[in-house]
Amino acid sequence: MRAVVVALGKIGLPLAAQLATCGHEVIGCDIDERVVDAVNGAQEPFPGEADLADVLQQVVLGDGPGHLQATTDTRAAIASRPELVILVPPLMVDAEVKIDWRILDAVIADVGAGLREGATGDGPPMTIALETTVPVGTSRSRLAPALEAASGLREGEDFHVVFSPERVFSGRIFADLATYPKLVGGLSAAGEIRGVELYARFLPDVEVRGMGGAEAAELTKLAETTYRDVNIALANEFARHADELGLDVQAVIDAANSQPFSHIHRPGVAVGGHCIPVYPRFYLAGDPAARLPAAAREVNEAMPAYAVDLLGPVADRTVLILGVAYRGGVKETAFSGAYGLRDELTLRGARPVAADPLYDATELAALGFSAWTGEPVDAAVLQADHAEYASLTPAELPGARIVVDGRGVLDPAPFAAAGVALRRIGRP
């Protein structure tokens, strides 16, 4: 089949490549000319995705049955009448998780214009799948009406809309695509059947499961991520209580999880990233009376302040934040706990400085952090579990008399030997 993937980011590009490896003709669309040029040159536009470089060489430059090419002209790609269009544009939010719909709406407008231009062709109705995580009801109340308005066509007759949530983890997307069931929910029964059929053509190793409606598929994605946020909040509550009792919460969690009905996650200094801090808010937008997701967000958002509590008095002290990335090994700061640490330290009269092996001083400054230049500090908080920090010793933190390990990755022995207090959340 011919397929179009709109937005060649960390999800969209591997998805487009997966389609092509299964023998399909794929057009990838992106507004960034740098990304388009890189893909057409069989080069990764971003690092860190396992096997992507090799797959691009195969599907862009190879002579196999499938092929991938990229373009900035989404409208023309849609007008070529592909059987399947997959939309993966980012849904941006601000610091209060207020949704900015502009990117998604612009993509919908381009797709709708392409639908109109290709409306006279032959063949079955085009299927348009949204994979971007959205509040429940978006496919039916926003996507489909906007496509109808832009194209003059009717959903369910001239084209189908389905929602199919991405269920992959950056860095291992091809493996995840071959592991987890693919969920598809349509706005009509016929559209869902067609969506299941099309996804099965390039995901041969997994079940492609019809959900009985787009709303069920949208809610499933929010349920997955909201569960994780609530679970982490519970672990954080246990950790704080363990600190009061002088117990090792990790030993408690490991023991509880040793039977099959307990799946407690790990506590930590913060819950960051594009997904877990955001999608529970999407859920609450549709179910504002829900109490657990709201309480979990409150608990998790308070963890940076709790980490500062563990330092003791910080007024007039220099405190080093180790890691501004939201998690180890990823150069991304979306909802990173480093921001909460910085703001709480400043509020309490401390002088926060920051370091991260993935960011230089200029980049740290652009993110709003004062870069550490190696001068003595009074204390430190490990915020991101970068591999470079696993072997960190007191000698690398001159002057620090107390260190809070917010991720539980440091070896306590060298700190004890040096007389440096090491505090770990929920662990003596």
The predicted structure's pLDDT at residue 122: 76
Give the domain 2-212 fold. Rossmann fold (3.40.50)
The predicted structure's pLDDT at residue 33: 98
- pLDDT per position as a tens digit, 101-155: 999 999 999 999 999 998 766 788 999 999 999 999 999 999 999 999 999 999 9
The predicted structure's pLDDT at residue 321: 98
> Do residues 217 and 185 lie in contact, with contact meaning Cβ atoms separated by under 8 Å?
yes
Rg of the chain in Å (alpha carbons) = 24
pLDDT < 50: residue spans in the chain? none
> Do residues 328 and 317 lie in contact, with contact meaning Cβ atoms separated by under 8 Å?
no
> Do residues 379 and 405 lie in contact, with contact meaning Cβ atoms separated by under 8 Å?
no
The span from the CA of 167 to the CA of 137, in Å, is 19
The predicted structure's pLDDT at residue 375: 97
| Domain boundaries for CATH 3.40.50.720 within the chain | 2-212, 303-424
The span from the CA of 422 to the CA of 403, in Å, is 5
Nearest of 142, 147, 159, 45 to residue 99 by alpha carbon: 142
The span from the CA of 98 to the CA of 31, in Å, is 24
Domain 221-299: give its CATH superfamily. Answer: N-(1-d-carboxylethyl)-l-norvaline Dehydrogenase; domain 2 (1.10.1040.10)
- For residue 360, give Cα distances in angstroms to 202, 295, 366, 369: 41, 36, 10, 11
- pLDDT per position as a tens digit, 86-112: 999 999 998 888 999 999 999 999 999
Distance of CA 427 to the CA centre of its chain: 28
As assigned by CATH, the class of the 303-424 domain is: alpha beta
CB atoms within 10 A of CB 215: 19
| Domain boundaries for CATH 1.10.1040.10 within the chain | 221-299
